[in-house]
């Protein structure tokens, strides 16, 4: 699959200390990270967060930065 431009082990052995990792390994890690992140995006939103939004939505509009205590806790 990723054989076309192989950065081989030799490359590392010849290696510069500054970049000991072959680019393909670095790319692979990037892809894994993205895949894992996308999995997290699929997770259902916890109830307590939805409840918090409901609470905020029904609380009287407030202009300051102070959150109403009840909303801050989310639930009791």
Partner 1 sequence: MAVSTDLKDRLIEAMPNLRAFAISLCGTSDRADDLVQETLVKAWNKIDSFEDGTNLKAWLFTILRNTYFSQYRKGRRELADTDGEYSSRLSVQPQQQGHIDVQDLSAALNELPDDQREALVLVAAEGFSYEQAAEISDCAVGTIKSRVSRARTRLAEIMQLDADDSFSGDQYGNTVLVAGDPIARG
Pinpoint the alpha helices (H) of 1-76: 9-13, 23-42, 47-58, 69-73
**Which residue reads 């192989």 in tokens?**
6
**Nearest-approach distance from CB 3 to partner 1, in angstroms:** 19
E-assigned strands of the chain? none
Using DSSP's 3-state secondary structure scheme, residue 64 falls into coil
Catalog residues that contact partner 1 under the rule CB under 8 A.
9, 12-13, 15, 17-21, 25-26, 28-30, 32-37, 39-43, 45-46, 48-50, 52-53, 56-57, 61-67, 71-72, 74
> Measured from the CB atom, is 2 or 18 closer to partner 1?
18
> Measured from the CB atom, is 6 or 67 closer to partner 1?
67
């Amino acid at each position: 699959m990723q054989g076309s431009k192989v950065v081989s082990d030799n490359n590392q052995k010849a290696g510069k200390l500054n970049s000991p990792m072959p680019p393909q390994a670095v790319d692979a890690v990037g892809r894994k990270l993205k895949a894992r992140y996308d999995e997290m995006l699929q997770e259902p939103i916890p109830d307590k967060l939805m409840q918090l939004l409901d609470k905020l939505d029904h609380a009287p509009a407030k202009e300051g930065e102070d959150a109403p205590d009840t909303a801050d806790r989310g639930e009791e």
